[in-house]
Structure 1
């Protein structure tokens, strides 16, 4: 990236300067409640019996719910930590603010005039502490936390000072099930336990053990939740403190973390209502609600409780106050997870979930180094390669439908796609339109390739997105051509493949790859793009189509583009295509010569993971 260090310095000082000129905070003379967040990593609601019949007992969280509100419809907007946490800390949708990629290639600035929400609490007199995970994709100023460390504690505040404290629990993190076969065998030799296995997973001893092992971690996490509550009680703070417990996104069994299925998004959430501040909410302690809550709503909810003005740039709404309720809709987004690219958006309304796969040939099980450290992932892939899975279990390794519609109350693991059901025609159309209005309205920056956005829009992503809103809408319209029959799209695609706009050509090529052999009439034009396009990435996209349709071997085009680029993020996109093309079902192994890669490309950690996999 050009002048990245200078950009970071500029953005850091700009955030500080803007903060001190900010006029959004109102401090009330009334006593303010304390607010504590207890956040467990990587667990969806499916692992807690309190929320799901197949979960395990969590007595401390259950006790919390008896004195508070259980939110049975709480959702992360993203299925992975840095994107989910960036959404939480800003109260904004990540695809419009440029923080939708995990791991981040570069930090992005917050929208003009907006700050991470604890900064407003701090300015209003709160003592703000975080113990201790941050993992933001935004530039962070020193105005956010009084202390963010493993030693951070609300006990270090001034006398009678209200506090906002976050306590993160890593016990349930994905890494806790990176056990070895030897460890599993030794454990099973002592005691074998049975556990529910979701229907899209192989029904094997390994998957059963993984479920049991993870549920044990959930119970360990629950004890840590109890310890935080006990500390507040011992300090005499319980009835002055709102306590939020929630999971930071779904996971961690295969196909959950990193994916927009309910197992990746639907999280457990309980909010304990303190006796001395029960007047601040219309909800009654000891009850549950099906009101939809999304992570974008957490920041405005806390600001509302503290009687601090909610900045206009925030996308969410408070959910504990009667006058502020949402319309039972939640949106989700999944882009790059480490080195694996995808572009999926979702909307859930009531019991129906609509997923839009904008690059459906990027199948879910495409190699990702960190995911495949888990033995269950490895076994799942092996069983697929050996032809030992049924259709539902095999879908993880096959191209997805561009549109998927699920009744998640009757089909909680999203195995029956209703998108082609004539009875769902109007429902499908309605949800499709709702999603399109949302992504166009943001606008969604992911419709530019990541490397292009970083090079051109990183200084001010929101402003840049608004300046290019019409272009983004054009790309979304192009992408949506894959939702109609090819004959209806053919002439439009032909024109778009000849467009002077490289990213209109880019999306037209993706649509053609989705159609596959149905788009063979455009093969000659696509061959020309593979040879002559001004963008190396477009040459690769053209080569993808030619490989999918068995027209040409893509190796030479892909390698030329890979060896030519000096941008590691562009290289990562090319390597994603190479990994896809080298997969078993597509069958075009591409042989990479490391010595021909640009040094800057080769030194990128995400690129290194791809090369490690592709080059034995």
Structure 2
């Protein structure tokens, strides 16, 4: 009897394993080919001013070309953290580039390749990760520069990522010797320069050199496709080609303009699995998709249910889904440079909310300015040789901006104050605010405070502090009202017991500029007496922006008193703004007075390197 039952159990196991193996083999392979730092503007498949990319175009013949695909962030670590999680970065605490502290994934959520592995997929990444999360070890069978789908078991489906670094912005960190060795005549025709760029020979050369890198990148894409074809895999493999965010001419990577977010996306649809996708092969897709949707899409193709904790939704489905026409973007810290900007693209309109509008776009960022074109742009501005559109990169911005990107693709004509667009402005403002408050958006606390108080569990912190965050957003949005309507509220909030209500009231006062000059007595008191060093700095920033008094003594004292490198980094952002902005204040920094813990912070080192070089 026991022998009989053992035979029955063995038969059941064999049948079950055979079924699972057959089921596993019936699933498609999925390949991601990611090129670094390029927006859609450089490929003729998407833009008439771009260059031909025959291998990417080859994918489009048997696949889908997405006219409205977007990274949610204009820089790699934040964009890739969104890709690997399917979550909006400001909700889960991974919105800052470079990470000063990694954060855990939300409770119950894994990096999405883990779900593929658990379902029998072989998952490989060659080779860039750059996540702001603490890595979960179950995501990859192999993540290295040797990782290959070829190492899987026979018949095993695979998910493979291949990263192409040829187009990274570092490729444009050249010196004059390169121009001598490879003259403009040997490069592709540069095409038209953006209207907000200086129309110089250096900018032409920089764009032409970048187009040559696009060509080299396309050749690499061709090599990967050919290898898959050689291995007989094209007929059962989805191939995604996309840029990891925008770039890389000045003012693109690191900024929420279309050149920083609008990416090329082409997906090869294998004939065998065409029934998994409602769009016809060879078509152009006008629906909006963004990085937050990529993880759910891959899981859907693999027949795996997406976790509820993901924010995105699959955009490739067997049946057509409601048309999507919106995408959100976020920009916070980039290396040592701080900002707080949010965007919403809805149809042909783009809404950008600058929460600290006095932080001009061109504020020094050491890595960016290794590009000669950035240096030239700044030098031309300082020399008064730019027109109004070109000079705007180095001037304070409006708190909110609205663009018709079909008519104005490089976002140079702000429609926010035009009465004809008032209804559209209010609608997009409302939608952005709803998105921020519903997450909620953690960035309404300073990063150093989040590191000290929230980053053990950012999502739970956000949930338990949702009302406070909503209040900070409400205060921040006073800058969108008439000053006389909100000045009493600002004045009252400057005396709040909540330090971050005071923080935002100070930022709003600075946003109003000279209109808020009457608050100088109260703000002077805050500059001298606030318990929070960063609030004393924000108050001094107000006094400096309005040229009421020199902010240097207060800011330097706060820097010297700080023993937190992350706090000091935010203080240094204001110091650079005061030095390089319209006030041109001098800062005589004594590094001997800076705490050793502060000086050990890698991003602080970048700021000090620049500041000491200027003095």
TM-score by length of structure 2 reads: 0.95
Corresponding position of 1:603: 600
Task: Kindly report the root-mean-square deviation, in angstroms, between the aligned alpha carbons of the 2 structures.
Answer: 1.4
Corresponding position of 2:55: 60
Question: Aligned pair in 2 of structure 1 residues 450, 391: CA closer, same or farther (>3 Å)?
Answer: same
Corresponding position of 1:305: 301
Corresponding position of 2:358: 361
Give the Cα separation in 2 of the matches to 1:68 and 1:101. Answer: 34
Q: How far has the Cα of 1:517 moved from its partner?
A: 1.3
**What are the superposed Cα offsets for residues 225-246 of structure 1, whole Å, 9 maximum, x if unpaired?**
0001001100011101000000
Q: Secondary structure at the match of 1:582?
A: helix
Give the Cα separation in 2 of the matches to 1:455 and 1:194. Answer: 48
**What are the superposed Cα offsets for residues 86-106 of structure 1, whole Å, 9 maximum, x if unpaired?**
000000000000000000001
Corresponding position of 1:430: 427
Pick one of 394, 407, 411 that aligns with 1:397: 394
Give the Cα separation in 2 of the matches to 1:353 and 1:574. Answer: 31
Contact 2:33 2:241 in 1 (8 A): yes
Q: Do residues 328 (structure 1) and 332 (structure 2) align?
A: no
Q: How far has the Cα of 1:309 moved from its partner?
A: 1.0
Corresponding position of 2:547: 550
Corresponding position of 1:229: 225
Which ranges in structure 1 are unaligned for 5 or more consecutive residues?
1-24
Pick one of 521, 532, 554 that aligns with 1:524: 521
Give the Cα separation in 2 of the matches to 1:198 and 1:498. Answer: 46
Give the Cα separation in 2 of the matches to 1:439 and 1:185. Answer: 49
Q: Do residues 248 (structure 1) and 248 (structure 2) align?
A: no
Q: How far has the Cα of 1:40 moved from its partner?
A: 0.2
Corresponding position of 1:540: 537
Q: How far has the Cα of 1:584 moved from its partner?
A: 4.7
Question: Aligned pair in 2 of structure 1 residues 230, 325: CA closer, same or farther (>3 Å)?
Answer: farther
Corresponding position of 1:282: 278
Give the Cα separation in 2 of the matches to 1:31 and 1:357. Answer: 49
Give the Cα separation in 2 of the matches to 1:348 and 1:248. Answer: 18
**What are the superposed Cα offsets for residues 68-90 of structure 1, whole Å, 9 maximum, x if unpaired?**
00001000000000000000000
Which ranges in structure 2 are unaligned for 5 or more consecutive residues?
1-19
Q: How far has the Cα of 1:335 moved from its partner?
A: 0.3
**What are the superposed Cα offsets for residues 580-615 of structure 1, whole Å, 9 maximum, x if unpaired?**
000152211211100110101101111011001111
Q: How far has the Cα of 1:336 moved from its partner?
A: 0.2
Corresponding residue pairs, total: 592
Pick one of 165, 168, 171 that aligns with 1:170: 165
Q: How far has the Cα of 1:573 moved from its partner?
A: 0.2
Give the Cα separation in 1 of the matches to 2:294 and 2:451. Answer: 28
Q: Secondary structure at the match of 1:160?
A: coil
Q: Secondary structure at the match of 1:458?
A: coil
Q: Do residues 273 (structure 1) and 273 (structure 2) align?
A: no
Corresponding position of 2:41: 46
Q: Do residues 409 (structure 1) and 391 (structure 2) align?
A: no
Give the Cα separation in 2 of the matches to 1:353 and 1:114. Answer: 32
Map 1:111-260; keep pairs closer than 5 Å: 111-188=106-183, 191=186, 193-260=189-256
**What are the superposed Cα offsets for residues 422-479 of structure 1, whole Å, 9 maximum, x if unpaired?**
1100000000000000001100000000000010001100000110000000000000
Give the Cα separation in 1 of the matches to 2:384 and 2:437. Answer: 41
Give the Cα separation in 1 of the matches to 2:601 and 2:532. Answer: 21
Q: How far has the Cα of 1:417 moved from its partner?
A: 0.2
Give the Cα separation in 1 of the matches to 2:329 and 2:195. Answer: 23
Q: How far has the Cα of 1:187 moved from its partner?
A: 2.2
Contact 2:36 2:167 in 1 (8 A): yes
Displacement over 6 Å in runs of 4+:
none
Q: Secondary structure at the match of 1:578?
A: helix
Give the Cα separation in 2 of the matches to 1:351 and 1:376. Answer: 30
